[in-house]
Amino acid sequence: MSPFREQTVDSRVRTFEPHKALQFLRSRRLAWGVALALTAALGLLYLACRSISLDDFDSISFALALRDLNLVKQQPQPPGFPVYVALGRLLLALRPDPRWALTTLSALSGAGAVAATFGLGHRLSEGKARVGLAAALLVGLAPAFWLASEKALSDVPGLALTLAAILGLALAPQAPGAIAAVGLLAGLSLGCRPQNLLGLVPFGLYALHGLWRARRWGRMGLYLAGGTLGVALWLVPLAAASGGWGSYLGLVQVHGRHVWAADSLFGHGPLGATIVRARLMQFGTTFFGEVLGLPLGQQAAAGSLLALGAVSVAALVAAALMARPRRAVVLLLAWLALGLAQSLLFESLERSRLLVPLLPPLALLAALALARLPLPAFAASLVLAGALLFGQTWPIARILATQAAPPVQATAYVQRHGTPDDTLLAAAGSYRHVQYALAGFRTHYLYYLDEAALAADVASGRYRQVVIFDRDAFQGVQEAFLEGDRYVATADLTFARDARAHREHGEVRLVVLTRADLLTPEDLALPASGVVRPGAAGDERFLGPGWFRREDVGGVAARWAGGSAEAKVNVALPPAGYRVRLRALAYPAEQVVTVLVNGVQVAEIALGQGWDEYEFQVPQSALTQPVAAMQLRHRLLRSPYEESGGTSTDTRTLAAAYEHFQFVATP
C-alpha cells in the first residue's frame, strides 16, 4: 500500500480503551488539536527566545541584503537565497529592524516546520496522528533546530519550505488539481535554501514514478511546469540583478570553489586515514554534542564517539526494521542517506545548523518505530524524550535571548574606546560585524588582505591604535606591527559566551596595539611584584610577537608561545643584574629554549612537559637600553592536530606555555 494513501477510518467503531488519558493518541480529531497546540506553543517559545543579536557572519550578510541584495558584495553569498530575502523584507516592512525581521522569520518558520513534520508523519503512517505528534515534538525540541529557529539565518525557513513541499507531494493524490501548486512550492523552496534540494529528491521521484505508472502525463507536466516556474520566479531576476547569466554563474562558481576548498572533505589535500578520521570525529562531536545536545564537551574522546556511533547505527537499523509502512521507511532512509552524504562530503561540520535537515527523517523514522510500542510505552517514551530535549536546550536558548554574540560585544568595545579618526581595524571572521556596526572605521579584511594598503595606513602615522579582531586566525598580522617596534600590545581581550549558543563565533579575541612612540618606559615598567604573567589580563603590554591568547593550560592561567620559533617579552628594568625565574611547560618533548636579552644570549634551558620552574641570570651588561627585549627562541614547534593524528582539532604550532616571569634584582 502506498504510504501516501490514507486508510478510511469508520468513526462508528469504538474500541475499549483503558487508558482514557491517552485516548487523544487514538483520536484523529483530538490529536490534530494537540498538534495545533504544540505548534502554537513552540512558535511562542521560539518568538520569546529570539536572539538579541546577529550571531553569524552570514546573519550580517542577510541583514545587509534586506536593504541591498548584491551578490558581488556577498549580500548574501551566492547562490543568493532570494526567496528568503524576500520573506525577510515582508517582515522588515512591519518593523525596520533587520535583526527583528530575520529572527521573527526564523521563529515563525520553526513553528511551520513543526506543523509540516506533524502532517508528514500523519500522512506517511497512513493516518496515525500520534506518529506526526511524536516526530513534531522530537524535531521541535531538538537543540540544533530550536536554536536555529531563534537566529537570523536561512536554515529553518529553508527547511520549513522544503517540508511543506514534501508534504504537498504526500497530499497531492487527494487533491490532484493542486499538483502544479506543489511544484511551484518546491521551486520556490530552492530559492530560500537550495542546499535542501536533496530532501525533495526521493519524494519527488516517487511521486513522478507513481504518475508515470498511472499514465497521468498531464499531472506530471503540471508538477514539472510548476517547479520550473517556481525556480524561474527567483532565478531570472536574480541573474539579471547580478549582471546577466554569465556573471551570476561566475559568482556561483567562485563561491563553489571556496566551499570545496574550505568546507568539503576534498579540500584539505589528498584523502588519507587522518583526514577521514578527523572528519568523522568532527561529525560525531557536532551531531551528538550540538544537534542532539549530549554533554560531550568540545573535544569528545574517540572511544566515546565510536561507541555512540555504533549505538546510533544499531538504533537506526532497529527503527528501520520496526517501522511501518515499508515504503515510507525506504523514502525516509533515502532522504537521510542523501543528507548524510551531503554533510560528510561537502559541508562544514563545525556548524551544527547545517545538520538540521537530518532531523526530520530521523524523527519520522523514530516516530514510526515508537508507534509499534504499546500505547503507554509510546507515551512514556515521548514524554521522557521531550523532557530531556527541553532540559538540554532551554538554558542555551535563554543565552541567545539575553547575551549578545561575541563579535557584537567586541564591536561595542571599539565604539566605546576608539573613533574612526584614531583607530585602524583589521578583522577576519568578525569582518561582517565590524562592517555593519563600525561602518565609519577604516577596516582591512584579513582573508583578502591588501598588504600594500595596510602598510600605507600604518606608515601614515594617522592612527593612534590598531585593533585586530580574530587575532588567532592571523598570527603574522600582529607581528607586522610589532617587529618594527611601531606598535605595542596594550590590551588583549577575549569576548565570549557559552559556545553552545553559536559555536562559529563563540569567542572573539581582540588585540589593541598602541603606537610605540606614544608609550614611555614607565608604561612598560616592571610591576611592583616583579612578576610578568602572560596569562593575566593587563600584562599583554609586555608581550611582543610569538604569543597566542590567554587560556587555561593544564589548570594554569598561561599563554602558549608558538606560531613562530621566537616569542618576545619587553619590560623596562632599572639598571642592575637580575635573577629570572620562569614557570613553563613544553608541548613537544625535548624542547629547548634559548634566552637572549637585547641580543645577548644569557641561557639555554631544556623544558619538560609538566609545569616546572627554571632560573637563569641576566648580567647588568646585557641591559643596555631602558626597555629590555627578551627573546625566547624555541628549537621545536609541533601541531597537536598532526601529533595526535587528527584526534585534536588544534592546528596551531606550539612551542611552550608560560605562566610567569619573575625578575629579582641581584647586587
> How does pLDDT run across 531-544, given as a tens digit for each residue?
999 999 888 889 88
> C-alpha angle with apex 615: 600 to 590, nearest 5 degrees?
85
Helix (H, G, I), strand (E, B) or coil at 515: strand
Q: Which helix (H) or strand (E) holds 414?
A: helix 406-417
Asked if residue 171 lies in contact with residue 382, where contact means CB atoms within 8 angstroms, the answer is no
Cell 508538477 locates to 223
Q: Is pLDDT of 25 > 70?
A: no
The model's confidence at residue 17, banded by pLDDT at 50, 70 and 90, is very low
> How does pLDDT run across 157-168, given as a tens digit for each residue?
999 999 999 999
Q: Is pLDDT of 154 > 50?
A: yes
> How does pLDDT run across 65-98, given as a tens digit for each residue?
999 999 999 999 999 999 999 999 999 999 999 9
What backbone torsions phi and psi does residue 496 show, to the nearest 5 degrees? Answer: -150, 165
Q: Please report, rounded to a whole number, the percentage of residues in the chain having pLDDT higher than 90.
A: 66
Q: How many CB atoms lie within 10 A of CB 48?
A: 12
Q: Any idea which of 334-338, 342-346, 509-513, 628-632 has the lowest mean pLDDT?
A: 509-513
Q: Which helix (H) or strand (E) holds 342?
A: helix 326-346
DSSP state of 482: H
If we measure between CA atoms, which residue out of 214, 205, 173 comes closest to residue 186?
205
Alpha-carbon distance 337 to 49, whole Å? 32
At residue 478, the pLDDT reads: 66
At residue 314, the pLDDT reads: 95
At residue 467, the pLDDT reads: 94
487 against 524, higher pLDDT: 524
Q: Is pLDDT of 246 > 70?
A: yes
> How does pLDDT run across 579-594, given as a tens digit for each residue?
999 999 999 989 999 9
State the SS3 of 266-331.
HHCCCCCHHHHHHHHHHHHHHHHHHHCCCCCCCCCCHHHHHHHHHHHHHHHHHHHHHCCCHHHHHH
362, β-bridge pairs: none
Cell 527567483 locates to 234
Q: Is pLDDT of 421 > 50?
A: yes
Q: Is pLDDT of 522 > 50?
A: yes
Asked if residue 533 lies in contact with residue 637, where contact means CB atoms within 8 angstroms, the answer is no
| Average confidence (pLDDT) over 318-345 | 94
Q: Is pLDDT of 26 > 70?
A: no
Q: Where are the domains of the chain?
A: 54-402, 403-519, 524-667
> How does pLDDT run across 259-308, given as a tens digit for each residue?
998 899 988 778 888 889 889 999 999 999 899 888 876 566 778 888 99
At residue 211, the pLDDT reads: 83
Cell 520573506 locates to 87
CA distances from 31 to 53, 122, 129, 300, 383 (A): 37, 10, 6, 40, 15
487 against 657, higher pLDDT: 657
631 against 27, higher pLDDT: 631
> How does pLDDT run across 591-608, given as a tens digit for each residue?
999 999 999 999 999 999
* Domain spanning 524-667: CATH superfamily: Galactose-binding domain-like (2.60.120.260)
| Average confidence (pLDDT) over 349-353 | 91
Q: Is pLDDT of 446 > 70?
A: yes
| Average confidence (pLDDT) over 438-465 | 88
Alpha-carbon distance 127 to 111, whole Å? 21
Which CATH number is 403-519's, of 2.60.40, 1.10.3470, 3.30.450, 3.40.190? 3.40.190
Q: Is pLDDT of 175 > 50?
A: yes
Q: Please report, rounded to a whole number, the percentage of residues in the chain having pLDDT higher than 70.
A: 93
At residue 19, the pLDDT reads: 46
Strands (E), 516-643: 531-532, 547-553, 556-562, 566-572, 577-586, 591-597, 600-607, 612-618, 627-634
The model's confidence at residue 335, banded by pLDDT at 50, 70 and 90, is very high
At residue 483, the pLDDT reads: 57
The model's confidence at residue 475, banded by pLDDT at 50, 70 and 90, is low
At residue 20, the pLDDT reads: 47
- What is the number of alpha carbons within 13 Å of residue 162 lying toward its C-beta? 28
At residue 485, the pLDDT reads: 62
